[in-house]
A and B are shown apart, each in its own frame.
Chain A
Protein backbone atom coordinates (compact mmCIF):
# COMPACT_ATOMS: atom_id res chain seq x y z
CA UNK A 1 0.00 0.00 0.00
CA UNK A 2 1.08 3.60 0.13
CA UNK A 3 2.47 3.74 3.63
CA UNK A 4 6.21 3.60 3.74
CA UNK A 5 7.47 0.08 4.40
CA UNK A 6 10.10 -0.55 7.03
CA UNK A 7 13.38 0.97 5.84
CA UNK A 8 16.70 -0.82 5.51
CA UNK A 9 17.20 -4.53 5.80
CA UNK A 10 17.84 -7.11 3.11
CA UNK A 11 16.80 -6.72 -0.49
CA UNK A 12 15.35 -10.23 -0.55
CA UNK A 13 12.53 -10.50 -3.04
CA UNK A 14 13.55 -7.36 -4.92
CA UNK A 15 14.38 -8.05 -8.57
CA UNK A 16 17.41 -5.86 -9.23
CA UNK A 17 17.35 -6.73 -12.93
CA UNK A 18 14.16 -4.67 -13.30
CA UNK A 19 13.93 -2.41 -10.23
CA UNK A 20 15.85 0.83 -9.80
CA UNK A 21 16.59 0.92 -6.10
CA UNK A 22 18.01 4.07 -4.52
CA UNK A 23 19.08 3.48 -0.96
CA UNK A 24 21.49 4.73 1.65
CA UNK A 25 21.65 6.32 5.06
CA UNK A 26 21.56 9.71 6.72
CA UNK A 27 24.45 10.73 8.98
CA UNK A 28 25.19 13.58 11.37
CA UNK A 29 28.24 13.99 13.61
CA UNK A 30 29.47 10.48 12.87
CA UNK A 31 26.18 8.78 13.77
CA UNK A 32 23.22 7.59 11.71
CA UNK A 33 20.09 9.72 12.03
CA UNK A 34 16.95 7.72 12.84
CA UNK A 35 13.56 9.23 12.07
CA UNK A 36 14.79 11.67 9.44
CA UNK A 37 12.41 12.46 6.57
CA UNK A 38 14.03 11.71 3.22
CA UNK A 39 12.38 13.14 0.12
CA UNK A 40 12.99 11.94 -3.43
CA UNK A 41 12.63 14.74 -6.00
CA UNK A 42 12.64 14.22 -9.75
CA UNK A 43 14.77 16.04 -12.35
CA UNK A 44 12.37 19.02 -12.25
CA UNK A 45 12.57 19.18 -8.44
CA UNK A 46 9.05 17.79 -8.19
CA UNK A 47 8.33 15.71 -5.09
CA UNK A 48 8.11 11.98 -5.86
CA UNK A 49 8.22 10.15 -2.53
CA UNK A 50 9.19 10.43 1.11
CA UNK A 51 10.24 7.89 3.72
CA UNK A 52 11.33 8.01 7.35
CA UNK A 53 14.75 6.54 8.15
CA UNK A 54 15.11 3.35 10.18
CA UNK A 55 16.81 3.21 13.60
CA UNK A 56 20.06 2.71 11.61
CA UNK A 57 19.36 5.83 9.54
CA UNK A 58 18.53 3.91 6.37
CA UNK A 59 16.18 4.80 3.52
CA UNK A 60 15.16 3.08 0.28
CA UNK A 61 13.25 4.13 -2.84
CA UNK A 62 12.04 2.23 -5.88
CA UNK A 63 12.48 4.71 -8.70
CA UNK A 64 13.27 4.63 -12.40
CA UNK A 65 16.53 5.29 -14.26
CA UNK A 66 17.36 9.00 -14.46
CA UNK A 67 18.38 12.06 -12.48
CA UNK A 68 17.08 12.36 -8.92
CA UNK A 69 17.59 14.56 -5.89
CA UNK A 70 17.51 13.34 -2.30
CA UNK A 71 16.78 15.76 0.53
CA UNK A 72 16.66 14.87 4.21
CA UNK A 73 14.82 16.85 6.89
CA UNK A 74 15.48 16.36 10.58
CA UNK A 75 15.49 18.49 13.73
CA UNK A 76 19.34 18.53 13.54
CA UNK A 77 19.35 19.96 10.02
CA UNK A 78 19.03 19.08 6.38
CA UNK A 79 21.17 17.53 3.65
CA UNK A 80 20.84 17.20 -0.11
CA UNK A 81 22.41 15.12 -2.86
CA UNK A 82 21.87 14.75 -6.61
CA UNK A 83 22.38 11.38 -8.21
CA UNK A 84 21.96 9.59 -11.49
CA UNK A 85 20.28 6.22 -11.01
CA UNK A 86 20.39 3.14 -13.21
CA UNK A 87 18.50 -0.14 -13.08
CA UNK A 88 19.81 -2.11 -10.11
CA UNK A 89 21.15 -0.92 -6.79
CA UNK A 90 22.14 2.75 -6.39
CA UNK A 91 23.66 3.50 -2.99
CA UNK A 92 24.41 6.87 -1.49
CA UNK A 93 24.88 8.73 1.78
CA UNK A 94 23.37 11.97 3.01
CA UNK A 95 25.55 13.87 5.48
CA UNK A 96 23.98 16.63 7.56
CA UNK A 97 26.62 19.31 8.12
Chain B
Protein backbone atom coordinates (compact mmCIF):
# COMPACT_ATOMS: atom_id res chain seq x y z
CA UNK B 1 0.00 0.00 0.00
CA UNK B 2 1.38 3.38 -0.94
CA UNK B 3 0.05 6.90 -1.02
CA UNK B 4 -0.90 6.72 -4.70
CA UNK B 5 -3.04 3.62 -4.07
CA UNK B 6 -5.28 5.39 -1.56
CA UNK B 7 -5.11 9.09 -2.34
CA UNK B 8 -5.70 10.97 -5.60
CA UNK B 9 -5.07 14.63 -6.33
CA UNK B 10 -7.78 17.08 -7.32
CA UNK B 11 -6.12 17.28 -10.76
CA UNK B 12 -6.34 13.51 -11.16
CA UNK B 13 -9.95 13.54 -10.06
CA UNK B 14 -10.86 16.28 -12.51
CA UNK B 15 -9.19 14.38 -15.37
CA UNK B 16 -10.98 11.13 -14.53
CA UNK B 17 -14.53 12.33 -13.88
CA UNK B 18 -16.86 10.08 -15.85
CA UNK B 19 -14.35 7.25 -16.36
CA UNK B 20 -15.95 3.81 -16.52
CA UNK B 21 -15.29 1.76 -13.41
CA UNK B 22 -14.88 4.83 -11.20
CA UNK B 23 -17.67 6.10 -8.98
CA UNK B 24 -17.17 9.47 -7.31
CA UNK B 25 -19.03 9.74 -4.02
CA UNK B 26 -19.49 12.88 -1.92
CA UNK B 27 -19.97 12.17 1.78
CA UNK B 28 -21.23 14.80 4.18
CA UNK B 29 -23.23 15.15 7.30
CA UNK B 30 -25.11 18.05 5.75
CA UNK B 31 -25.73 17.16 2.11
CA UNK B 32 -27.03 20.61 1.15
CA UNK B 33 -23.55 21.40 -0.20
CA UNK B 34 -23.85 18.46 -2.61
CA UNK B 35 -27.29 19.61 -3.70
CA UNK B 36 -25.95 23.05 -4.66
CA UNK B 37 -23.01 21.68 -6.60
CA UNK B 38 -20.92 18.52 -6.75
CA UNK B 39 -18.26 16.86 -8.86
CA UNK B 40 -19.74 15.96 -12.22
CA UNK B 41 -21.37 12.53 -11.98
CA UNK B 42 -20.76 12.10 -8.24
CA UNK B 43 -23.42 10.43 -6.11
CA UNK B 44 -24.02 11.46 -2.51
CA UNK B 45 -23.95 9.61 0.76
CA UNK B 46 -25.44 11.15 3.86
CA UNK B 47 -23.25 10.29 6.83
CA UNK B 48 -26.19 10.18 9.17
CA UNK B 49 -29.18 8.87 7.25
CA UNK B 50 -27.27 6.47 4.98
CA UNK B 51 -24.49 5.19 7.22
CA UNK B 52 -26.00 5.15 10.74
CA UNK B 53 -28.70 2.80 11.99
CA UNK B 54 -31.87 4.88 12.43
CA UNK B 55 -32.70 3.41 15.84
CA UNK B 56 -29.77 2.17 17.89
CA UNK B 57 -26.32 3.73 17.88
CA UNK B 58 -24.41 1.64 15.36
CA UNK B 59 -23.60 1.21 11.71
CA UNK B 60 -26.08 0.00 9.18
CA UNK B 61 -25.69 -3.76 8.96
CA UNK B 62 -24.27 -5.76 6.05
CA UNK B 63 -27.61 -6.18 4.31
CA UNK B 64 -28.48 -2.50 4.69
CA UNK B 65 -25.05 -1.56 3.32
CA UNK B 66 -25.62 -3.86 0.35
CA UNK B 67 -29.00 -2.27 -0.31
CA UNK B 68 -27.52 1.22 -0.02
CA UNK B 69 -24.68 0.60 -2.47
CA UNK B 70 -26.94 -1.29 -4.86
CA UNK B 71 -29.40 1.63 -4.91
CA UNK B 72 -26.56 4.12 -5.46
CA UNK B 73 -25.41 2.13 -8.49
CA UNK B 74 -22.07 1.07 -7.02
CA UNK B 75 -20.88 -2.42 -7.96
CA UNK B 76 -18.28 -4.66 -6.36
CA UNK B 77 -15.94 -4.05 -9.30
CA UNK B 78 -16.07 -0.26 -9.10
CA UNK B 79 -13.32 1.87 -7.67
CA UNK B 80 -14.96 4.27 -5.23
CA UNK B 81 -13.43 7.76 -5.09
CA UNK B 82 -14.57 9.63 -1.99
CA UNK B 83 -14.50 13.32 -1.16
CA UNK B 84 -16.45 15.64 1.12
CA UNK B 85 -16.57 18.72 3.29
CA UNK B 86 -15.13 19.27 6.78
CA UNK B 87 -11.62 18.55 5.47
CA UNK B 88 -12.72 15.09 4.30
CA UNK B 89 -13.73 13.94 7.81
CA UNK B 90 -16.86 12.19 6.65
CA UNK B 91 -15.25 10.98 3.44
CA UNK B 92 -12.47 9.42 5.54
CA UNK B 93 -15.14 7.88 7.75
CA UNK B 94 -16.83 6.42 4.67
CA UNK B 95 -13.45 5.18 3.43
CA UNK B 96 -12.95 3.29 6.68
CA UNK B 97 -16.55 2.04 6.49
CA UNK B 98 -16.12 0.75 2.91
CA UNK B 99 -12.94 -1.06 4.04
CA UNK B 100 -14.82 -2.48 7.03
CA UNK B 101 -17.35 -4.04 4.67
CA UNK B 102 -14.62 -5.38 2.42
CA UNK B 103 -14.60 -2.93 -0.49
CA UNK B 104 -10.89 -2.70 -1.24
CA UNK B 105 -10.83 -0.35 -4.22
CA UNK B 106 -11.41 2.95 -2.42
CA UNK B 107 -9.56 6.25 -2.74
CA UNK B 108 -9.83 9.70 -1.21
CA UNK B 109 -9.57 12.94 -3.17
CA UNK B 110 -6.81 14.92 -1.44
CA UNK B 111 -8.21 18.14 -0.02
CA UNK B 112 -11.80 17.09 -0.60
CA UNK B 113 -14.45 19.65 -1.28
CA UNK B 114 -12.50 22.52 0.28
CA UNK B 115 -9.51 22.36 -2.04
CA UNK B 116 -11.85 21.83 -4.97
CA UNK B 117 -13.74 25.03 -4.09
CA UNK B 118 -10.65 27.07 -3.20
CA UNK B 119 -9.23 26.12 -6.62
CA UNK B 120 -12.51 27.26 -8.23
CA UNK B 121 -12.86 23.91 -9.98
CA UNK B 122 -16.17 23.16 -11.76
CA UNK B 123 -19.21 21.91 -9.84
CA UNK B 124 -22.42 20.55 -11.30
CA UNK B 125 -25.96 20.75 -9.96
CA UNK B 126 -27.28 18.13 -12.38
CA UNK B 127 -29.09 15.25 -10.75
CA UNK B 128 -27.08 12.03 -10.86
CA UNK B 129 -28.69 8.63 -11.31
CA UNK B 130 -26.89 5.37 -11.87
CA UNK B 131 -28.46 2.03 -12.74
CA UNK B 132 -29.00 -0.12 -9.65
CA UNK B 133 -26.56 -2.97 -8.96
CA UNK B 134 -26.49 -6.15 -6.91
CA UNK B 135 -23.82 -5.20 -4.41
CA UNK B 136 -22.47 -7.88 -2.05
CA UNK B 137 -20.62 -6.85 1.11
CA UNK B 138 -18.27 -8.88 3.31
CA UNK B 139 -18.73 -9.48 7.02
CA UNK B 140 -17.48 -6.44 8.96
CA UNK B 141 -13.72 -6.45 9.52
CA UNK B 142 -13.45 -5.65 13.22
CA UNK B 143 -9.65 -5.61 13.03
CA UNK B 144 -10.03 -1.90 12.19
CA UNK B 145 -12.87 -1.05 14.61
CA UNK B 146 -12.40 -0.70 18.37
CA UNK B 147 -15.13 -1.13 20.98
CA UNK B 148 -15.28 0.34 24.47
CA UNK B 149 -13.98 -2.60 26.48
CA UNK B 150 -10.84 -2.94 24.42
CA UNK B 151 -10.32 0.82 24.72
CA UNK B 152 -10.45 0.63 28.51
CA UNK B 153 -8.09 -2.36 28.37
CA UNK B 154 -5.74 -0.37 26.12
CA UNK B 155 -5.00 2.27 28.79
CA UNK B 156 -1.23 2.23 29.48
CA UNK B 157 -0.91 -0.72 27.10
CA UNK B 158 -1.58 0.32 23.51
CA UNK B 159 -1.12 3.66 21.79
CA UNK B 160 -4.22 5.75 22.35
CA UNK B 161 -4.41 8.78 20.07
CA UNK B 162 -6.91 11.50 20.91
CA UNK B 163 -7.27 13.50 17.71
CA UNK B 164 -9.53 16.26 19.06
CA UNK B 165 -8.39 19.84 19.52
CA UNK B 166 -6.12 20.59 22.50
CA UNK B 167 -8.97 22.32 24.35
CA UNK B 168 -11.23 19.29 23.99
CA UNK B 169 -8.40 17.01 25.11
CA UNK B 170 -7.74 19.20 28.15
CA UNK B 171 -11.42 19.21 29.07
CA UNK B 172 -11.91 22.93 28.41
CA UNK B 173 -14.37 22.22 25.57
CA UNK B 174 -16.60 19.15 25.19
CA UNK B 175 -17.25 19.56 21.47
CA UNK B 176 -15.57 21.17 18.48
CA UNK B 177 -15.85 24.94 18.65
CA UNK B 178 -18.36 25.24 15.80
CA UNK B 179 -20.93 23.47 18.01
CA UNK B 180 -22.71 24.54 21.21
CA UNK B 181 -20.81 23.35 24.28
CA UNK B 182 -23.49 21.05 25.60
CA UNK B 183 -23.68 17.34 26.21
CA UNK B 184 -23.85 14.75 28.92
CA UNK B 185 -20.22 13.68 28.69
CA UNK B 186 -17.66 14.44 31.36
CA UNK B 187 -14.91 16.52 29.76
CA UNK B 188 -11.36 15.23 29.48
CA UNK B 189 -9.53 12.37 27.77
CA UNK B 190 -8.69 8.70 28.19
CA UNK B 191 -5.71 8.27 30.53
CA UNK B 192 -2.41 7.58 28.72
CA UNK B 193 -3.76 8.98 25.43
CA UNK B 194 -1.53 11.33 23.47
CA UNK B 195 -3.12 14.34 21.84
CA UNK B 196 -2.35 14.65 18.14
CA UNK B 197 -5.11 16.82 16.68
CA UNK B 198 -6.26 15.52 13.29
CA UNK B 199 -5.62 19.02 11.91
CA UNK B 200 -1.86 18.59 12.37
CA UNK B 201 -1.99 15.94 9.66
CA UNK B 202 -3.57 18.32 7.16
CA UNK B 203 -2.53 21.44 5.35
CA UNK B 204 -4.72 24.51 5.44
CA UNK B 205 -6.37 23.59 2.12
CA UNK B 206 -7.39 20.20 3.49
CA UNK B 207 -4.72 18.13 1.72
CA UNK B 208 -2.67 15.66 3.74
CA UNK B 209 0.87 16.55 4.74
CA UNK B 210 3.76 14.58 3.20
CA UNK B 211 4.60 11.10 4.44
CA UNK B 212 7.82 12.46 5.97
CA UNK B 213 5.97 15.19 7.88
CA UNK B 214 3.33 12.72 9.04
CA UNK B 215 5.87 10.15 10.22
CA UNK B 216 7.68 12.86 12.22
CA UNK B 217 4.40 14.14 13.68
CA UNK B 218 3.46 10.85 15.33
CA UNK B 219 7.02 9.92 16.26
CA UNK B 220 7.44 13.28 18.04
CA UNK B 221 4.15 12.74 19.87
CA UNK B 222 5.56 9.53 21.32
CA UNK B 223 3.58 6.98 19.35
CA UNK B 224 5.33 3.63 19.80
CA UNK B 225 5.72 1.91 16.40
CA UNK B 226 5.87 -1.48 18.07
CA UNK B 227 2.43 -1.20 19.62
CA UNK B 228 -1.11 -1.39 18.33
CA UNK B 229 -2.95 1.92 18.08
CA UNK B 230 -6.51 3.07 18.75
CA UNK B 231 -7.62 6.49 17.52
CA UNK B 232 -10.65 8.35 18.84
CA UNK B 233 -12.31 11.77 18.76
CA UNK B 234 -15.87 12.74 19.66
CA UNK B 235 -18.01 10.65 17.30
CA UNK B 236 -15.38 8.83 15.22
CA UNK B 237 -15.16 10.88 12.05
CA UNK B 238 -12.09 13.00 12.83
CA UNK B 239 -10.39 9.81 14.08
CA UNK B 240 -11.18 8.17 10.73
CA UNK B 241 -9.03 10.91 9.21
CA UNK B 242 -6.18 9.90 11.55
CA UNK B 243 -6.88 6.18 11.00
CA UNK B 244 -6.45 6.87 7.27
CA UNK B 245 -3.12 8.60 7.92
CA UNK B 246 -1.71 5.91 10.21
CA UNK B 247 -3.05 2.79 8.49
CA UNK B 248 -3.32 3.77 4.85
CA UNK B 249 -0.64 6.45 4.32
CA UNK B 250 2.00 5.43 6.88
CA UNK B 251 1.26 1.70 6.72
CA UNK B 252 1.06 1.00 10.46
CA UNK B 253 -0.20 -2.58 10.70
CA UNK B 254 -2.57 -2.55 13.67
CA UNK B 255 -4.68 0.60 13.87
CA UNK B 256 -8.30 0.74 14.98
CA UNK B 257 -10.81 3.54 14.94
CA UNK B 258 -12.93 3.82 18.08
CA UNK B 259 -16.13 5.26 16.62
CA UNK B 260 -17.87 5.27 20.01
CA UNK B 261 -15.29 7.92 20.86
CA UNK B 262 -15.79 10.58 23.51
CA UNK B 263 -19.59 10.67 23.30
CA UNK B 264 -19.49 7.05 24.51
CA UNK B 265 -16.39 7.02 26.70
CA UNK B 266 -17.21 10.31 28.44
CA UNK B 267 -20.62 8.90 29.38
CA UNK B 268 -19.44 5.53 30.76
CA UNK B 269 -19.91 4.98 34.47
CA UNK B 270 -16.76 4.22 36.40
CA UNK B 271 -14.06 4.51 33.74
CA UNK B 272 -10.98 6.64 34.47
CA UNK B 273 -10.70 10.10 32.91
CA UNK B 274 -7.73 12.47 32.78
CA UNK B 275 -7.89 16.23 32.45
CA UNK B 276 -5.41 18.91 31.50
CA UNK B 277 -2.89 19.12 28.68
Contact = CB atoms under 8 A, between A and B. Distances in A.
A24 interface: no
B37 to A, nearest CB: 10
Interface stretch (B82-90, B136-144, B217-225): B82-90
Contact of B178 (A14, A18, A46, A50): A50
B28 A62 contact: no
A96 to B, nearest CB: 13
Counting contact residues on chain B (CB < 8 A from A), the size range is: 35 or more
Contact of B176 (A14, A44, A48): A48
Q: Give the dominant DSSP class at B's interface.
A: loop
Interface in B185-209: 197, 199-200, 204-205
A2 B181 contact: no
Interface stretch (B4-12, B67-75, B153-161, B165-173): B165-173
Residue with the greatest number of chain A CB neighbours at <10 A, chosen from B33, B47, B114, B177: B177
Contact of B30 (A4, A35, A62, A75): A4
B167 A64 contact: yes
B23 to A, nearest CB: 23
B120 interface: yes
A46 B179 contact: no
Interface in A49-97: 49-52, 60-64, 73-75
A40 interface: yes
Contact of A73 (B118, B120, B172): B118
B85 A52 contact: yes
Given A48-B167, A74-B118, A75-B120, A40 B177 contact: yes
Given A14-B180, A48-B177, A62-B179, A37 B114 contact: yes
Nearest to A37: B114
B103 interface: no
Contacts of B48: 1
B117 interface: yes
Interface of A: 1-6, 14, 18-19, 35, 37, 39-40, 42, 44, 46-52, 60-64, 73-75
Interface of B: 28-30, 33, 47-48, 85-87, 89-90, 114, 117-120, 165-167, 172-173, 175-181, 197, 199-200, 204-205, 234-235, 237-238
Given A3-B29, A46-B165, A62-B179, 6 more contacts: A2-B238, A40-B178, A46-B199, A47-B200, A49-B178, A52-B33
> Which 6 A-B pairs have CB atoms at the shortest separation, nearest pair first?
A3-B29, A47-B199, A49-B177, A49-B178, A48-B165, A48-B177
